[in-house]
Amino acid sequence: MSRILFNHVYKHYGKDKLPVVKDFNLEIEDKEFVVFVGPSGCGKSTTLRMIAGLEDISKGEIYINNVLVNDLPPKDRDIAMVFQNYALYPNMSVYENIAFGLRLRKMPKHEIDIAVKRAARVLEIEQYLERKPKQLSGGQRQRVALGRAIVRNPEVFLMDEPLSNLDAKLRVQMRAELIRLHKQLEVTTIYVTHDQTEAMTMANRIVVMKDGIIQQVDTPEEVYNNPSNTFVASFIGSPP
């Protein structure tokens, strides 16, 4: 079963503007880790935000689990999103930060406790649950942000350049952590980055984008060995 299906999707901001996403067609399978990669401004975040319901779709359809979601509000989509500028609540403990979304959903307290501790165990931040965000390192804070996403046990994970605020060493470490997390949780994941290395090392499949148009969809090996055009060849071949 395909988790997410794009059918001739377009996006333009404002009525008379040119589309920034053009005729986007893609099928994402259950449990895949798909990376959208391309230069800044090519429409990656816009595409992700349309899946989450944070942007309207100008034309075409998006289906999640065979359900047309064009008009479905974000809260009714079983999706968790992690951004680059993840904001933790500074005055809440790590525990409260992770529990926050579940409290909003009025989950019973003992169930929240089980879910928060399970997420913290998976992310290896159990020992920091009583700390405030400012008492954590950048990498630990990023894990708390991930904790807030995984605690909801979503069907789909959307990540928009979640590591780009971290220093290079931590970024490499967190890539490995995210791959491990994906193997463990088996959640369908779409990961957006402008970083070719990140795409090549993390993806089951890569979607290379340019000017709102898909250039190639393939495994990292295929994209590297058989680029579909000179743009893909130079973009993937050149160092980040």
Minimal distance, residue 236 CB to ligand ADP, in Å: 16
The residue behind tokens 């997410």 is: 4
Minimum CB separation of residue 35 from ligand ADP in Å reads: 13
Rounded to a whole number of angstroms, the minimum distance from the CB of residue 195 to Mg ion is: 12
Piece of 5-13, 42-50, 106-114, 131-139 that binds Mg ion (CB under 5 A): 42-50
Which of ligand ADP, Mg ion, none does residue 142 bind to, with CB < 5 to 8 Å depending on kind? none
Residue 45 engages Mg ion in binding (rule: CB under 5 A): yes
**3-state helix/strand/coil string of the chain:** CEEEEEEEEEECCCCCCCCCEEEEEEEEECCCEEEEECCCCCCHHHHHHHHHCCCCCCEEEEEECCEECCCCCHHHCCEEEECCCCCCCCCCCHHHHHHHHHHHCCCCHHHHHHHHHHHHHHCCCHHHCCCCHHHCCHHHHHHHHHHHHHCCCCCEEEEECCCCCCCHHHHHHHHHHHHHHHHHHCCEEEEEECCHHHHHHHCCEEEEEECCEEEEEECHHHHHHCCCCHHHHHHHHCCC
By CB under 6 A, tell whether 40 contacts ligand ADP. Answer: yes
| Partner from ligand ADP, Mg ion, none binding residue 189, C-beta < 5-8 Å depending on class | none
Candidates 46, 140, 142, 189: give the one binding ligand ADP (CB under 6 A): 46
Query: What backbone phi and psi angles, to 5 degrees, belong to 206?
Result: -110, 135
40 versus 66: smaller Cβ distance to ligand ADP? 40
Site for ligand ADP (CB under 6 A): which residue of 3, 44, 148, 175?
Answer: 44
The region of 43-51, 99-107, 182-190, 196-204 touching Mg ion under the rule CB under 5 A is 43-51
Span from 33-41, 82-90, 215-223, 226-234 in contact with ligand ADP (CB under 6 A): 33-41
Q: Which does 89 bind (CB under 5 to 8 A by kind): ligand ADP, Mg ion, none?
A: none
Q: How far is CA 59 from CA 15, 43, 53, 65, 235, in A?
A: 12, 15, 14, 20, 28
41 binds ligand ADP (CB under 6 A): yes
From the list 44-52, 87-95, 96-104, 115-123, the region that binds ligand ADP by CB under 6 A is 44-52
CA distance linking residue 55 with residue 33, whole number of Å: 22
**Contact yes or no for 156/78 (Cβ under 8 A):** yes
Residue 142 in the binding site for ligand ADP (CB under 6 A): no
20 vs 102 by CB, closer to ligand ADP: 20
Binding region for Mg ion (CB under 5 A):
45
Binding region for ligand ADP (CB under 6 A):
13, 20, 38, 40-46
